[in-house]
Chain A
Amino acid sequence: MPYLDHAATSPLCDEAREAMAPYLDERFGNASEPHRYGRAAREGLEQARETVSGLLGCRAAQVVFTSGGSEADNQAVFGLTGRPLGRLVVSAIEHAAVLAPARELERQGFDLAWAPVDGDGVVDVETFSATVRPLDRLAAVMWANNVTGAVQPVAELAAICGERGVPLHVDAVQAAASIAIDFAAIGAETMALSAHKMHGPKGVGALVARDPSRLRPLIWGGGQEGGLRSGTENVAGVVGFAAALAAMRTRGDRRRELRDRMEAALPDFPAVSRGVARLPGHSLLLVPGIRADVLVLALDRAGYAVAAGSACASGDSEPSHVLVAQGMSDGDARSVIRVSIGVDSTEPEVDGFCEALRACVEQQRAGALL
């Protein structure tokens, strides 16, 4: 069944599976042990760190492996703040893994300032510049948004933060599957990544830090990852992460072409944020008057896996805060479906989806109230 929900998660690629296999089998050792099993695991872990840091434009010592993007975001927000209380600047379109920690800090007494976005869902640089002040404890802006796919001007924002000595955390969980990342060139303080969005395994990610000594651990214990992330290392996962990241950089990529083809074929369902730079496989289609959460079920029955505006674990039907932040009405925000094309997606899949979408919408119109 055609899978067009790569922004939610992506299937494990062959490269990652093959790289992981020995570490699920004979190289099962604990990387902290000095015997040959432990050394074999350690070797895989550090080789993966080299690969990842090489591909992300940072040094190996700057990579802290975590259990995924949410943990990396949490560690950045909590790890860069601490005490005394201060002020945070957070973009209005952050993922919950940044928003919820920021709100928790607000509850503890931090001041929380929001950096607004324009009608295309892009952080407004001027307002951001006017908002960030010296002595702010942290600013957080994601590299590319998980709902609209809109790419943010992170280098510009990092420069503004740099001028004022404010650390910038960048959530690159969505971006890393599509954009060649050069951490050093961007100038951010920290960056969060997740393997499963780029055909790696679930349960592994990384926090990249310009200066890891500024971080604090979330998880305390045996002192792994330079004391910043205790717990026996997920060596197979980390190896799969590195292999997937490497594979993504070498693979041919028709995502943008397929996405543009799809949008051209669906003029009745205009894509949100289509006027700005977006992730290449990402398209948020507005289907006025039709509930996205019902349409997703209909498309699933028709054989196509896509997401409603923002799929979230709680299953509530609150409109996405991202879309509300960029000025969309509550009704429209409940009428958008997110199509995220992957590197393995094909033309027939995309064409078939367009046809299925038109057919499902046509059927749903009969029961539409608006």
Chain B
Amino acid sequence: MYSDAVTRHALDLSRAGSAGDAAFHGEAGDLGCGDQLRIELAVEDAHIVRARHRSFACPHATAAAALCCRLVEGAGLLDAARVGASRLDQELQPASHNRECVALAADALHAAIARALGSGTLPAAESRVAVAMSGGVDSAVALLKAVEAGLDPVGVTLRLWIDPAAPDSERACCSPQSVRAARSACHAAGVPHVTLDLRRRFRSQIVDSFVRDHAAGQTPNPCVRCNGSFRFDALAEFADRIGADRIATGHYARVVERDGQRLIARGADPDKDQSYMLARVPEQIVRRVWFPLGEQRKQLTREQARGAGLAAAERRESQEVCFVGGGDHRRFVERYGGAGRAGQIVAGDGRVLGEHDGVHRFTPGQRRGLGIGGGEALFVVSTDAASGTVVAGPRAALACTEIHVSPGRLQVPAARVHAKLRYRSPAMAASVRVEGDGFVLELDEPAYGVAPGQAAVLYDGDTVVGAGLIAG
């Protein structure tokens, strides 16, 4: 059944139609899911002068689209970005099973707002800060801290491509739940929220290279690459658009100043430290970044979220590569054409130990999946994508003290560092010297299972002083 408000707004045709050729549009839903609607915003001087809707949708969604237009017409773009499902629910009072229909209109509105914001630049505002929102607890508390600091935050969520065949894949016609969670976290704090649909760009810049690197026998770290050359670039570009100098995220890391440079440093929580993942964020962006959670532990973040009654307080976090969507990354690589050659598993002396069905399934140091039983424990020592050969050997054969990193860069001159060669491995004492377009590490003690393609991150104390990709 329909509330009086739903009926009234569903039949409100005063803003039905098109907002003109120059308008920015957003669409949501499709005929497969039964409801489809389109919102168009004509924008002048960052203000919505005309908002129009058209739909082939149920009364709830139609009413929500009409109400969106009523609420945002005449508003500034950032004020319009404060309108979301919760505001619409408040007015329309849908039954719980109709909330989805109402949320569809908010999706269309936000798609239009994102397009409008992407086409121009708002005047700079000193206290404005772009807060990256993931839908999880960390970014929700980061936002809280931005609000508490008296800043003027604008939440932004990057909608990224997710494998549609993955176990947790989103429904194709609707925003994923994480975007809606991020939006409602912002709106609950009265903060504007913008969703940037970067699915296509993300796929070509991050996902495709992940698959390619696997096919080439490497062990890529897509998160380091994403932060270093995609995510923070997009955030900076967005911050520029909305006139914000600063960018805040919920990462557990800090920014320190060294010799006039701003460098990433470890977060105060040793278990959650994400400085490794952020090591390749360009310096000109690090200058603008604020990590509100850098000085605290995750436990405190959860407590603060609970204390503030945030919906995200108990949300579980994912540790996996996001676009794999909870699936097995080897299967993912195979589905997307990155399967490496099948071939032989050989010992260091060339003796054939067995066979395998694809080099992309192996990474140096790996013990499981070799399918060779008995005798001494065997590990993957190296893989050769061209021949399809996997070399296996005892742990001792993995020992490696000289590591070539290319490309790589030392941000400040350093000779003695601690090098982290995988996200979850401890940093190891090493000497470093610049060579070619990267550097060479001499480890004091051997490392076992160094994988080409992973990031090598160099620390001086807690400060990241260099980073690059392990070449061999």
Is there a chain A Cβ closer than 8 Å to B56's Cβ?
A: yes
Q: Which residues of A contact B336 (CB under 8 A)?
A: none
Is there a chain B Cβ closer than 8 Å to A298's Cβ?
A: yes
Check B34–A318 contact: CB distance below 8 A: yes
Check A291–B57 contact: CB distance below 8 A: yes
Check A315–B98 contact: CB distance below 8 A: yes
Q: How far is A6 from B287 in the complex, measured between Cα atoms in Å?
A: 71
Check A369–B36 contact: CB distance below 8 A: yes
Q: Which residues of A contact B37 (CB under 8 A)?
A: 369
Q: Which of these, A291, A319, A363, A370, contacts B62 with CB under 8 Å?
A: A291
Residues of A263-305 whose CB lies within 8 A of B: 289, 291, 293-294, 297-298, 301
Q: Which residues of A contact B97 (CB under 8 A)?
A: 315-316
Q: How far is A294 from B8 in the complex, measured between Cα atoms in Å?
A: 11
Is there a chain B Cβ closer than 8 Å to A104's Cβ?
A: no
Q: Which of these, A291, A294, A363, A369, contacts B38 with CB under 8 Å?
A: A369
Q: Which of these, B2, B13, B55, B66, contacts A369 with CB under 8 Å?
A: B55
Is there a chain B Cβ closer than 8 Å to A317's Cβ?
A: yes
Is there a chain A Cβ closer than 8 Å to B325's Cβ?
A: no
Is there a chain B Cβ closer than 8 Å to A130's Cβ?
A: no
Is there a chain B Cβ closer than 8 Å to A367's Cβ?
A: yes
Q: How far is A293 from B17 in the complex, measured between Cα atoms in Å?
A: 19
Q: Which residues of A contact B34 (CB under 8 A)?
A: 317-319, 330, 334
Check A317–B35 contact: CB distance below 8 A: yes
Is there a chain A Cβ closer than 8 Å to B172's Cβ?
A: no
Would you give the 0/1 interface string for A133-165, flagging 1 where the beta carbon is closer than 8 Å to chain B? Answer: 000000000000000000000000000000000
A interface majority secondary structure: loop
Is there a chain B Cβ closer than 8 Å to A366's Cβ?
A: yes
Check B31–A368 contact: CB distance below 8 A: no
Closest to A318 in B: B34
Check A294–B31 contact: CB distance below 8 A: no
Is there a chain B Cβ closer than 8 Å to A364's Cβ?
A: yes
Q: Which residues of A contact B156 (CB under 8 A)?
A: none
Check A367–B62 contact: CB distance below 8 A: yes
Check A366–B56 contact: CB distance below 8 A: no
Check A293–B38 contact: CB distance below 8 A: no
Q: How many residues on the A side are at the interface (Cβ–Cβ under 8 A)?
A: 22
Closest to B29 in A: A369
Q: Which residues of A contact B17 (CB under 8 A)?
A: 366-367
Check B11–A297 contact: CB distance below 8 A: yes
Is there a chain A Cβ closer than 8 Å to B149's Cβ?
A: no
Check A367–B13 contact: CB distance below 8 A: yes
Q: Which of these, B2, B11, B56, B95, contacts A289 with CB under 8 Å?
A: B56
Check A315–B13 contact: CB distance below 8 A: no
Is there a chain B Cβ closer than 8 Å to A54's Cβ?
A: no
- Known contacts A301-B11, A316-B97, A334-B34; A294/B62 CB under 8 A: yes
Check A330–B31 contact: CB distance below 8 A: yes
Closest to B54 in A: A369
Q: How far is A316 from B53 in the complex, measured between Cα atoms in Å?
A: 22
- Known contacts A297-B11, A301-B11, A317-B35; A370/B59 CB under 8 A: no
Residues of B69-119 whose CB lies within 8 A of A: 95, 97-98, 101
The 8 closest A-B pairs by CB, nearest first: A367-B16, A369-B54, A317-B58, A366-B16, A369-B56, A370-B56, A317-B34, A366-B17
Question: What residues of chain A have their CB less than 8 Å away from a CB belonging to chain B?
Answer: 289, 291, 293-294, 297-298, 301, 315-319, 330-331, 334, 363-364, 366-370
User: 7 extra interchain contacts, Cβ-Cβ under 8 A, other than A297-B7, A317-B35, A317-B101?
Assistant: A291-B55, A294-B57, A297-B2, A367-B53, A367-B55, A368-B56, A369-B36
Q: List 15 A-B contacts (CB under 8 A).
A: A291-B62, A293-B59, A294-B10, A294-B57, A301-B7, A301-B11, A317-B101, A331-B31, A366-B16, A367-B62, A368-B55, A369-B37, A369-B38, A369-B54, A370-B56
Question: What residues of chain B have their CB less than 8 Å away from a CB belonging to chain A?
Answer: 1-2, 7, 10-11, 13, 16-17, 31-32, 34-38, 53-59, 62, 66, 95, 97-98, 101
